[in-house]
Structure 1
Amino acid sequence: MAKAEFYVSADVEADGPVPGPYSMSSFGLAVAGVRDGVTFQAVEPAERTFYAELKPISEAYDPEALAVGGLDRGRLVREGQEPTQAMDAAADWLATVSGELGAAPVFVAYPLGYDWMWMYWYFMQFASNGSPFGHSRCLDLKTLYAAKAASPIIGSTKRSMPRHLLSSRPHTHNALDDAIEQAELFQNLMRWDGAELQLEP
């Protein structure tokens, strides 16, 4: 019998292109839905959330990347959570939700490559027990859309998606806001059969 899983929409704001030389400034997590092995059930994404702002781990940063999230680096240095504290707290939150729902967490993002890179690296580097998502329990919304729309990956952008798939919430570049917004896109994609965009054989 297939194991139940719950989907965690994740968004990351960072001050550079890769973790290690640069730092994750903040991240947001929002539970988007549960699958019992057969049936998908959407849940209100604002009900179960986690958010953290982190101290930088290096002196290096890209001002343009930092500006996207709108966070003050000086404040993060003074007031941000230590990465060990933030990643352990996120792992504990995921374990609590997993117990409540009787399901295992699956990481969801658009695009997956960027957000997964940061979160996986930080979990492995700083969390006491490594990644709560293992090394591959993740789902890319870009790929999900491309498969359902019979669209090439390079053309599978949010601009190309039917408007009814997109969230009505604003994209603010606050990591939690954007994780909640993205959760609605995920829910819509899970319910969508893609029929209107299927290519002729």
Structure 2
Amino acid sequence: MVFMTELYIATDVEADGPIPGPYSMISLGMSVAGRPDLSFYTEIKPISDDFVPAALAVSGLDRDRLVREAPTAQEAMAAVDGWIEGLRTIGRPVFLAAPAVFDGMFVHWYFHRFVGKSPFGGSGAGIDLRSYWMGMNACDWSGTHKSVIKKKLSLTGLPHTHHAAEDAAELAQVFTALLERNKDQ
């Protein structure tokens, strides 16, 4: 059996509401852990007229501009699917998010709705940073906030900006540091 290198694709979503379908994923960032040269970012035209103003405000994106200028969900998801499929020449893509429940819900739904399949498999399964940390450190859920993880890993200067590309890069750096720490133990 041939084993491929796993590529942990740190993923961040900005959305204008709590769930996909009634609300829209408005930007998507991905960054491969340990490979800052491998990243993807797209903004996405909203798929519905409904949005939660407070949720939209988190990203700072202009919804009217997205409606006018952003690629459609089908175009954006086809592009990200192509990018992920291209990574298969160097390794096996593995979804990574924090929290995987929120980001994974949008990514999985959007892939199935607009591409017909997910490059992460039928279940969209992947790694949740907080669950991984909890398992590795035998700690309670309350001790798994990303700020706590970054502090314990002595990571400074990694802000969480709510820009999908920057937050995906932040997550990739955190997970890379976590893997390095685990390798040393």
Using structure 2 for the length normalisation, give the TM-score. Answer: 0.91
Q: 1:195 to 1:4 in 2, by over 3 A?
A: closer
1:15 alignment counterpart: 16
Using the TM superposition, give the Cα deviation of residue 172 of structure 1 relative to its aligned residue in structure 2, in angstroms. Answer: 1.4
Which residue is 1:31 aligned to? 32
* Code of the aligned partner of 2:133: Y
2:42–2:76 Cα contact (<8 Å) kept: yes
Cα gap change, 1:48 to 1:162, in 2 (>3 Å): closer
Distance in 2 (CA, whole Å) between partners of 1:120 and 1:149 is 28
Residue in structure 1 matching 2:120, options 119, 129, 133: 133
Cα distance change on mapping 1:195 and 1:146 into 2, 3 Å: farther
Q: Does structure 2 conserve the Cα–Cα contact (< 8 Å) formed by 1:10 and 1:30?
A: yes
Counterpart among 169, 172, 182 of residue 183 in structure 1 = 172
Residue by residue over 1:116-167, the C-alpha shift from the partner in whole angstroms, topping out at 9 and shown as x without a partner, is: 000000000001x410001244111101111111112243112433625245
Q: Note closer, same or farther for the CA distance 1:162–1:20 as it changes in structure 2 (3 Å cut).
A: closer
Contact 1:27 1:51 in 2 (8 A): yes
Partner of 1:169: 158
Matches within 5 A, 1:3-152: 3-32=4-33, 42-43=34-35, 45=36, 47-99=37-89, 101=90, 103-127=91-115, 129-134=116-121, 135-152=123-140
Q: Distance in 1 between matches of 2:124 and 2:57?
A: 30
User: Displacement, 1:191?
Assistant: 1.9
Q: 1:107 to 1:167 in 2, by over 3 A?
A: farther
TM-score normalised per structure 1:
0.84
Cα drift, residue 31 of structure 1: 1.1
Report SS of the residue matched to 2:105: helix
- Structure 1 regions of 5+ residues with no counterpart? 33-41, 197-201
CA RMSD of aligned residues (A): 2.0
C-alpha distance in structure 1 between counterparts of 2:137 and 2:65, whole Å:
43
Q: Which amino acid aligns with 2:7?
A: F
Measure how far apart 1:96 and its partner are.
1.1
The count of residues paired between Structure 1 and Structure 2 equals: 182
Provide the C-alpha distance between the structure 2 equivalents of 1:137 and 1:84, rounded to a whole number of angstroms.
22
The structure whose Rg is larger is 1
Q: Which amino acid in structure 2 is aligned with residue 139 of structure 1?
A: I
CA distance in 2, matches of 1:181, 1:97: 20
